[in-house]
């Protein structure tokens, strides 16, 4: 919505920060504030330059000091870029639509030539940058200074404010766990001076699994607002229906219309449950089920039950491997159950000391897919923690020899109080959403929950 409004109204600069430099050997712990500010400054600077290229007369609104800074910043932030990197920087701008592509086409080629032509066009090619400014502006600690001045320059040329939209932080190999994702973005979250700089608004779209780490790090919720975006199963189901309706021109409003009659299951609802709160995952699963059907049959006019289960199995295994390392998945497969205690896996599964088993569990918990789900009373001593898999895709992935429909019928349940998906093989299930405890014999399985009621 913000991106679309920036192109429509054009009165604020909108920059997406969703592609991140990853030099050789770079890890999530190497991402300090200077790393992030360097990339953000680069994008804001390119936005300023595109605007000035479209209307060079705007350069008359820029002060002499700002003109000196611009000349230095062009070399500082753009001088070492490749053409591909420059294209990415321009692509991060959301105000200009086709005009940004025209900008890239116009200045394709060596960046030094581009810089020379553009500086001449906006009248800063002959500006002399004072020696003291050159020396001070080269330091990494001056990045905050550059950032704030770029915001002022953006305002001087007609933008009322600047929006920085941070996204896709957890979609890199170096941020494949919640812990690594948090380490990567924390320098930005912790720097109130940057987040509250005059003339800028940050919106960060972050993985909800890093929420606990943010809380433990004394994040200033009193200064920076956090909103948790969560799609319910019903909302996802409605979203899928509208997408089908749009792309079929009104002919299809449910996946069930594409499933063989008599399957007995609400496949549309099942897909929305297995999305686990993610619209993107919902579409991937729906596409995967169709792919399984077309892979096994060229002439079927409907999706059969075998394709549904195979599609869920395949999607679950792929998605689990994206969210958790295969080594962890293999370890969980050795347990052979979705719930476990520290003592059990130490003595009966891995034959290791309990401290080593505890370390394994901590690593699994770091992915956000395994959590403490209950406590088991132990007479005469402290209760033991019961840990479990909390993502239904991982539950499928760690039980490769068990039929998908059997897992859905016996180990994936629906909370009677809030409707959340619960995963257990214990006699009592505790909902991680609302803490309601229910005997498994009285809980509804997910398979029952998506079965059509018979007359």
What is the full per-residue pLDDT of the chain (455 aa) written as tens digits?
Answer: 898 898 888 899 999 999 998 888 999 999 999 999 999 999 999 999 989 988 989 989 999 989 988 988 888 888 777 777 788 888 888 888 877 777 777 766 656 667 777 788 888 888 888 877 777 666 666 899 999 999 999 999 999 999 999 999 998 999 988 899 999 999 999 999 999 999 999 999 998 878 888 888 888 888 999 888 888 999 999 999 999 999 999 999 999 999 998 778 999 999 999 999 889 899 999 999 999 999 988 788 899 999 999 999 999 999 999 888 999 999 999 999 999 999 999 999 999 999 999 999 999 998 889 999 999 888 888 889 999 999 999 999 999 999 999 999 999 999 989 989 999 999 999 998 899 999 988 999 999 999 975 33
| pLDDT given for residue 380 in this prediction | 81
User: For the whole model, what pTM was predicted?
Assistant: 0.68
Q: What torsion do the CA atoms of 197, 198, 203, 204 make, to the nearest 10 degrees?
A: -10
| pLDDT given for residue 202 in this prediction | 97
| pLDDT given for residue 127 in this prediction | 83
| pLDDT given for residue 140 in this prediction | 61
- Give the Cβ contact number of residue 390 at 10 Å: 21
């Amino acid at each position: 919505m913000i991106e679309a409004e920036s192109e429509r109204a054009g009165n604020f600069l909108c920059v997406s920060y969703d592609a991140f430099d990853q030099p050789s050997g770079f890890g999530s712990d190497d991402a300090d504030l200077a790393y992030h500010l360097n990339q953000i400054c680069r994008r804001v600077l390119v936005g300023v330059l595109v605007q000035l290229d479209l209307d060079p007369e705007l350069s008359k609104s820029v002060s002499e000091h700002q003109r000196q800074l611009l000349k230095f910043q062009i070399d500082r932030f753009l001088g070492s870029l490749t053409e591909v990197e420059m294209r990415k920087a321009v692509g991060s701008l959301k105000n200009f639509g086709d005009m940004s592509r025209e900008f890239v086409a116009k200045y394709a080629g060596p960046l030094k030539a581009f810089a020379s032509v553009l500086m001449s066009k906006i009248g800063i090619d002959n500006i002399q940058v004072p020696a003291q400014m050159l020396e001070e502006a080269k330091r990494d600690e001056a990045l905050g200074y550059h950032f704030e001045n770029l915001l002022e320059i953006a305002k001087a040329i007609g933008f009322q404010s600047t929006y920085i939209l941070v996204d896709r932080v957890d979609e890199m190999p170096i941020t494949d766990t919640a812990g690594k994702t948090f380490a990567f973005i924390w320098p930005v979250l912790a720097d109130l001076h940057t987040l509250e700089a005059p003339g800028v608004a940050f919106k960060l779209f972050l993985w909800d699994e890093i929420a606990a780490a943010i809380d433990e790090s004394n994040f200033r919720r009193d200064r920076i607002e956090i909103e948790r975006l969560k799609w319910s199963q019903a909302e996802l189901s409605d979203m899928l229906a509208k997408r089908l309706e749009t792309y079929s021109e009104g002919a299809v409003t449910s996946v069930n219309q594409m499933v063989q009659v008599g399957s007995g299951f609400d496949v549309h609802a099942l897909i929305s449950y297995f999305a686990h709160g993610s619209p993107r995952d919902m579409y991937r699963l729906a596409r995967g089920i169709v792919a399984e059907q077309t892979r096994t049959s060229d002439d079927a006019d409907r999706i059969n039950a075998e394709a549904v289960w195979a599609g869920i199995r395949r999607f679950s295994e792929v998605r689990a491997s994206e969210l958790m390392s295969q080594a962890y998945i293999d370890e969980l497969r050795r347990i052979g159950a979705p719930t476990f205690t520290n003592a059990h896996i130490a003595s009966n599964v891995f034959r290791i000391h309990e401290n080593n088993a505890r370390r394994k569990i901590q690593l699994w918990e770091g992915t956000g897919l395994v959590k403490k789900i209950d406590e088991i009373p132990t007479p005469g001593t402290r209760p033991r923690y019961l840990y479990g898999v909390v993502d239904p895709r991982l539950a499928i992935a760690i039980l490769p020899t068990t039929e998908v429909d059997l897992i859905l019928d016996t180990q994936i349940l629906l909370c009677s109080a809030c409707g959340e998906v619960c995963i257990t093989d214990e006699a009592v299930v505790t909902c991680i959403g609302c803490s309601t405890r229910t005997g498994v014999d009285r809980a509804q399985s997910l398979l029952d929950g998506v079965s059509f009621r018979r007359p």
